Each structure stands twice: as structure tokens, then as C-alpha cells.
A and B are shown apart, each in its own frame.
Chain A
Amino acid sequence: MSLAAHLPVLQVVVPLLSAPLAVLVRHGGLAFGLVTAAAWAAFAMAIGLWFQVGESGTVTYHIGSWPPPWGIEYRVDRLASFVLVLVSGVAAVVLPYSRACVGREIAREQHYLYYAMFALCLAGLLGIVITGDAFNLFVFLEISSLSTYVLIALGRDRRALAASYRYLIMGSIGATFIVIGIGFLYLMTGTLNLVDMGTRLSGVENSRPVLVALAFLTVGICLKLALFPLHQWLPNAYTYAPSAVTAFLAATATKVSVYVLIRFYFTVFGESLVFHKLPLPEIMLWLSLMAMFGASAVALFQNNLKRLFAYSSVGQIGYITLGLSFDSVYGLTASVLHLFNHGLAKGAIFLLIGGLVLGLGRSGGGHGQPTLDRIAGLGRRMPITCLGIFLAGLSLIGVPGTAGFLTKWYLILAALEQGQYWLVAAVLLSSLLAVAYVWRFVEVAWFRPSAREEAGQDEVRHEAPRALLVPAWLLVLASLWFGLDTSFTVSSALDAAEALVGSGR
């Protein structure tokens, strides 16, 4: 068997193995090298898998050659390969960034642990996406969650500890809900293989245990993906975690949870149960709208830039779930696209905010939070950094020519298709809220005088180090590029949506 045939398992194993190796070498630099190499390898493998799926359809891999449904099956379809590319790609970009950033945010002797945790988190996320086994999914979920709690707790501010603890409690409840759901499904079907589970459920869809399972899974996963009003863990976790961690989590963790939700809804429970027999789409629609308006409005009044964009994340997740609630090809396309586009934009923004925080530390203000007072006038001190945040912000707004625009396009198309004109208006109105909070940053960064300028001195240009700017700008440029050339994103999302929607169940 050639190496290419083993890509699905290597996709997870390589980053997973790099974690204990990083601990064994006990050296920040070496651990960095190992984990970064693993992440880039994972990225390359994800791209390889994407092409494999394009050539020969869904790729399956039987762990230990045990055929499903007895053995654990790894299964990569269009959607999975797309999410794999996002997760591993963001990791590959964030890791080099961490090298320059972690030195200032985490104590030196803990560096190798940081990289080990990062590798575990990456392996867990990739595993969630690739596995076709329900319990395996839970295990990977916990691997990624536990390492995430540690990563968040590494933040310098003591509030990072409180945020991590809070996330641990809520995340564990969510994960336990998911196991409960899986347990009920196992009781009803006697299998753990997701596809097999879907087939066997077709007779007993309406039985009470299946409905209970659906409820537990929905709530559990929505906790992990921070659907309004289950988002309370998110703002503080994003605000106080080290910048690189925030960027990685914002771009991947919630997105993978969305993937899990899609997987369970479309592959296991089937559309007819979820979307036609239960009022779930309505509930999801209203919760999404509340997220789009409520969380975006809250973002508008935040004084801490990281928290502002954290709330914006909650709002943007609303778009993803809104697309899901349509149960149409266009709607799901919008969801899948936004999961990718928002990941890129938010990743870029948090990486660049990391650069801003660094600049704040240098100006003698101590290592502080990026409150709006402190970032006043930074547009003149760090123009390239601020310009990057602005451009990625345009993608959040959905300005044409940015990746975010395409999401809006498909969302509106989905609403038009169902004749829901008021939803068109809602989507557009909520974009205006995004304009408002992005412009809040623009006005503070460029129009408010900085402390130095108020003292009558001229602002000196002092950019963040290039090692921070280059990875961050890669993501910024990607979120612009995928607004114009969408042969990768739109075709993947459309393919994935077409395969899932209307598959007869």
C-alpha cells in the first residue's frame, strides 16, 4: 500500500505523535520545529486528501483493517476535506506566528508544553473531522477540549484562569451531553459507525430515545459551537487567552463543532427528522437571528478590542447556523463557506491584535489588554497591522471583493429561494452592525490621538515584528483572495452541500 492510501490516518497521527515528542525534547525551539513541521505536514496531507476526494469521491480508511461497522472507520468526504484544509492551514500559519509571540506571553520553561498542547489540540480537531465513529469523535473532542483549556489558561492575565475554568465546566457539560446523545443512539442502533447508525435509524426515527438523543446532541454541540445563548464561555476565553491561541481557536474550534452538527444532522438523523418533523429549523433560525443582532450589538459596546471581536464571532456564528436552518443547498453552501471565510478573517484579526498588544507592551504601558483607550492612534504607529485588521474586518462586513461577501450572497440567495424576503433584510441589516463595530476600531485607531500625541509629540512608526505580520497578512490576503477567486471555496462548499442536502433522508 502506498503512502497516499494511509493519508487519512496519518492526518491525525502525525500531529498527535508530535505532541509527546515535543514533551520529550523539553526544549522550546526543538518542540516548535517538530510541531510546526507536523502542522505543515498535516496541511499538505489535507490538501492531498482534498484532491483524492476530488478524484475518487469519498475516501475511507479502516483502522487496523477492521471493516466497518466493527472497526473504527475514517471517512473523508468533500465537507470533511474542506474543513481539514481550514484547520490544518490555520494551524500551519499560526504556529510560526506563535514562535514570535509566545516568547513574550508565556514563561520560557513552558514553551515546549505550549507546543505540545497545540499539537494535541490540532490532532483532536483533525480527528473530530475525519473520524466516522461516534465514540471516537467524543474522544477527539475531549482531546481538543482539554488541550484548549490548558492553552487558554496560559494567558498572562489571571482572568485567563477563570475563563479557562469556566470553559472547562461548560465544555465538559457540553461534551457529556454529546456522550449521552451518542449513548442513546448506540442503545437504539447497536452501532457506533455514523453512516451505519444513519442507515439503521431509518426505522426507529420517531422513537423517544432517538428524539432524546437528538436533543442532547443538539444542545451539547451548540454549547461547543457557542450558539447564542450558549456562548457565555466564549468572550472571556477569547479575550484572555494568548493571542496565537485565540486566533487558532476562533478560526477552528467553533468551526469544527459546526461540522459535527452538520454531520449528525445530515448523516445520522437525516433531514426529514431534523428539518421536517421537528420545529428545530425555526428554533435555530430565531437563535441565529438573536446571535446576529444581539451579539453584534453587544460587540458594539465593548471596550476591549479582543472582546469586541469575540462577540463578533458569536454574531458571525449566527450566519452559519442561519444557513443551516434553511435546509437547502444554497443555505448549507453559505454555512460551509462562512465557516471557512469567517475562520480566515477572524484568525487574521486575532493574530494582528496580538501584534497590537505587543506594540502596547513596548510603549511602556505594561503588558495590557487592548482596550480602545490604549489603541488610540495606533493607526499611525502600526499602519500595516491596523490596515490588516481593517481589511479582515471588511470580510466580516461582507464587502464585495472579500470572502465574507460570498457568504452573504449565498445566504441571501437561500432566503430568496424560499421567498423569505424579511430574512434578506435581516441579513443585510445585521451587516450594518458589523460596519459599525469595525468602524469603531477604525475611528479609534486613526482619529483618536494617542497618549504620545496628546502630549504634543509626533507618533513614531513602529510596526509589530515581521514574524508576526507575515503569517497574519497571509490570512488577510487569503480572505481577500477567496473573495475573488473562489474555485476552491465555493466549489467545495457547493459539492459538500449538494452531497448532504436532499440525499433522500
Chain B
Amino acid sequence: MSAAVASSSLLPELIQHFSHIITVFLMVSGLYIVIARGNLIKKLVGLSVFQTSVYLLYIAPGKIIGGTAPILASQYGVYSNPLPHVLILTAIVVGVATLALGLTLAVRLREAYGTIEEDEILALDQQAELEE
């Protein structure tokens, strides 16, 4: 396959799957933030972005353009799948709970260690270990 053909077929492909591309972008950037950042709050931000990507992953394929809520009436023929929405509602609740708990822990950590930087906490822990 020549390069020209590849690029010409890539663009429509990209447009067709743009929701997936956004999903993957959010997923990877969220994961990257979690891994790369040492600040406990920023890590949680990353985690939230990562979890948000999943919402999109579920909801996007369930939506049909022009589809409505599944109301059985003669004037509507095309329905969007409601189940993903319901599932994601639950997932959002879980995500919020996780975020809240994570932030609480960050507050407690700050009280206990006086910092919310991971490397500083690790250094303090190592010191404690040596004293033990």
C-alpha cells in the first residue's frame, strides 16, 4: 500500500471513529498524569480523567444519531440504547466516591506528613524505617 493511499483512507477513518480517539486520548493522558505526577491532588485529577474516558467508551456506541429514548410510541422508530447511560450513572457515582475518598486521604496525609508531594512522603517514610 502506498503512502498516498494510506493517508487518504486514514482521515475518514479518523473522523468516523472520532469518539474512540477522544476516549483513547483521555484514557492515556489520564493514566500518564497518574504515573508521572508526584503531587497527590494532581494524581487524583489524572485518575478522574482516566475514569471519565470510560464513560465516553460506554455511552458513545449506545447513542444513535436521531435516536430517542426508548419510548414506545408510533412516531418514534429509532431508539438509543439506555442501558449504557444507566451503567455510567453508576460508574459516575463510584468515580465521585473514589475521588472524595482520595481527596480525604490527601488531606489526612497533609496533616500527618505536612506535604502532599509523593517523593517527600517517601523520603519521610524511609527515614522512619531507618529509625525502626
Which of A154-162, A281-289, A338-346, A376-384 lies at the interface? A154-162
Interface readout for A457-476 with B: 1 if CB under 8 Å, 0 if not?
00000000000000000000
- When chains A and B are docked, how far (Å) is the Cα of A173 from the Cα of B84? 20
Interface readout for B1-39 with A: 1 if CB under 8 Å, 0 if not?
000000000000000000000000001000100100000
**Min C-beta distance of A115 to chain B, whole Å:** 18
- Tell me whether A172 and B51 are in contact (CB under 8 A): yes
CB contact under 8 A between A142 and B94, given known A153-B105, A173-B47, A173-B50: yes
Interface readout for B64-107 with A: 1 if CB under 8 Å, 0 if not?
00000000000000000001100100110010011001100110
- Tell me whether A168 and B102 are in contact (CB under 8 A): yes
**Which residue of the partner chain, among B57, B98, B121, contacts A142 with CB atoms under 8 Å?**
B98
- Tell me whether A159 and B125 are in contact (CB under 8 A): yes
- When chains A and B are docked, how far (Å) is the Cα of A162 from the Cα of B90? 28
- Tell me whether A135 and B90 are in contact (CB under 8 A): yes
- Tell me whether A168 and B101 are in contact (CB under 8 A): yes
- Tell me whether A149 and B87 are in contact (CB under 8 A): no
Which of A179-187, A255-263, A415-423 lies at the interface? A179-187
Interface readout for B99-132 with A: 1 if CB under 8 Å, 0 if not?
0011001101100110000000100010010001
- Tell me whether A179 and B91 are in contact (CB under 8 A): yes
Which residues of chain B have C-beta atoms less than 8 A from A164's C-beta? Answer: 105
Tell me if A150 is interfacial: C-beta within 8 Å of chain B: yes
- Tell me whether B98 and A165 are in contact (CB under 8 A): no
Which residues of chain A have C-beta atoms less than 8 A from B128's C-beta? Answer: 159
**Min C-beta distance of A451 to chain B, whole Å:** 15
Tell me if A9 is interfacial: C-beta within 8 Å of chain B: no
- Tell me whether A180 and B57 are in contact (CB under 8 A): yes
Tell me if A139 is interfacial: C-beta within 8 Å of chain B: yes
In the complex, the chain B residue whose C-beta lies closest to that of A240 is: B125
- Tell me whether A165 and B40 are in contact (CB under 8 A): yes
- Tell me whether A158 and B113 are in contact (CB under 8 A): yes
In the complex, the chain A residue whose C-beta lies closest to that of B122 is: A162
- When chains A and B are docked, how far (Å) is the Cα of A398 from the Cα of B75? 70
- Tell me whether B101 and A149 are in contact (CB under 8 A): yes
Could you count the A-B residue pairs with CB atoms below 8 Å apart for me: how many are there? Answer: 72
In the complex, the chain B residue whose C-beta lies closest to that of A150 is: B101
CB contact under 8 A between A161 and B57, given known A135-B87, A169-B47: no
Which residues of chain A have C-beta atoms less than 8 A from B61's C-beta? Answer: 187
Tell me if A371 is interfacial: C-beta within 8 Å of chain B: yes
Which residues of chain B have C-beta atoms less than 8 A from A165's C-beta? Answer: 40, 102, 105-106, 109
**Min C-beta distance of A487 to chain B, whole Å:** 41
- When chains A and B are docked, how far (Å) is the Cα of A368 from the Cα of B57? 47
- When chains A and B are docked, how far (Å) is the Cα of A448 from the Cα of B20? 62
**Which residue of the partner chain, among A149, A158, A169, A192, contacts B112 with CB atoms under 8 Å?**
A158
- Tell me whether A179 and B98 are in contact (CB under 8 A): no
- When chains A and B are docked, how far (Å) is the Cα of A371 from the Cα of B121? 21
- Tell me whether B54 and A179 are in contact (CB under 8 A): yes
**Min C-beta distance of A49 to chain B, whole Å:** 26
Which residues of chain A have C-beta atoms less than 8 A from B43's C-beta? Answer: 169
Which residues of chain B have C-beta atoms less than 8 A from A173's C-beta? Answer: 31, 34, 47, 50
Which residues of chain B have C-beta atoms less than 8 A from A138's C-beta? Answer: 91
- When chains A and B are docked, how far (Å) is the Cα of A172 from the Cα of B101? 11
Which residues of chain A have C-beta atoms less than 8 A from B40's C-beta? Answer: 165
**Min C-beta distance of B43 to chain A, whole Å:** 6
CB contact under 8 A between A371 and B132, given known A161-B109, A169-B34: yes
- Tell me whether B97 and A146 are in contact (CB under 8 A): yes
Which residues of chain B have C-beta atoms less than 8 A from A187's C-beta? Answer: 61
CB contact under 8 A between A172 and B98, given known A161-B109, A180-B57: yes
- Tell me whether A176 and B50 are in contact (CB under 8 A): yes
- Tell me whether A168 and B132 are in contact (CB under 8 A): no
Which residues of chain B have C-beta atoms less than 8 A from A161's C-beta? Answer: 105, 108-109, 112
CB contact under 8 A between A149 and B47, given known A142-B94, A159-B128: no
CB contact under 8 A between A183 and B57, given known A149-B101, A150-B101, A161-B112: yes
**Min C-beta distance of A310 to chain B, whole Å:** 15
- When chains A and B are docked, how far (Å) is the Cα of A12 from the Cα of B53? 31
- When chains A and B are docked, how far (Å) is the Cα of A268 from the Cα of B83? 20
**Min C-beta distance of B34 to chain A, whole Å:** 6
**Min C-beta distance of B29 to chain A, whole Å:** 14
- Tell me whether A183 and B34 are in contact (CB under 8 A): no
- Tell me whether A153 and B90 are in contact (CB under 8 A): no
- When chains A and B are docked, how far (Å) is the Cα of A371 from the Cα of B36? 33
Which residues of chain B have C-beta atoms less than 8 A from A172's C-beta? Answer: 47, 51, 98, 102
- When chains A and B are docked, how far (Å) is the Cα of A115 from the Cα of B94? 21
- Tell me whether B50 and A303 are in contact (CB under 8 A): no
- Tell me whether A303 and B132 are in contact (CB under 8 A): yes
CB contact under 8 A between A183 and B90, given known A158-B113, A161-B112: no
**Min C-beta distance of B60 to chain A, whole Å:** 10
- When chains A and B are docked, how far (Å) is the Cα of A397 from the Cα of B59? 50
Tell me if A36 is interfacial: C-beta within 8 Å of chain B: no
**Min C-beta distance of A189 to chain B, whole Å:** 12
Which residues of chain A have C-beta atoms less than 8 A from B125's C-beta? Answer: 159, 162
* Residue contacts A-B, CB under 8 angstroms, 6 given: A142-B97, A173-B31, A173-B50, A176-B54, A186-B58, A186-B84
The 5 A-B residue pairs with the shortest CB-CB distance, nearest first, are A158-B112, A142-B94, A165-B105, A161-B109, A183-B57
Residues of A within 8 A of B (CB): 135, 138-139, 142, 146, 149-150, 153, 158-159, 161-162, 164-165, 168-169, 172-173, 176, 179-180, 183, 186-187, 192, 303-304, 368-369, 371
- 5 further A-B contacts with Cβ under 8 Å, apart from A150-B101, A162-B125, are A135-B90, A139-B94, A161-B108, A169-B34, A183-B58
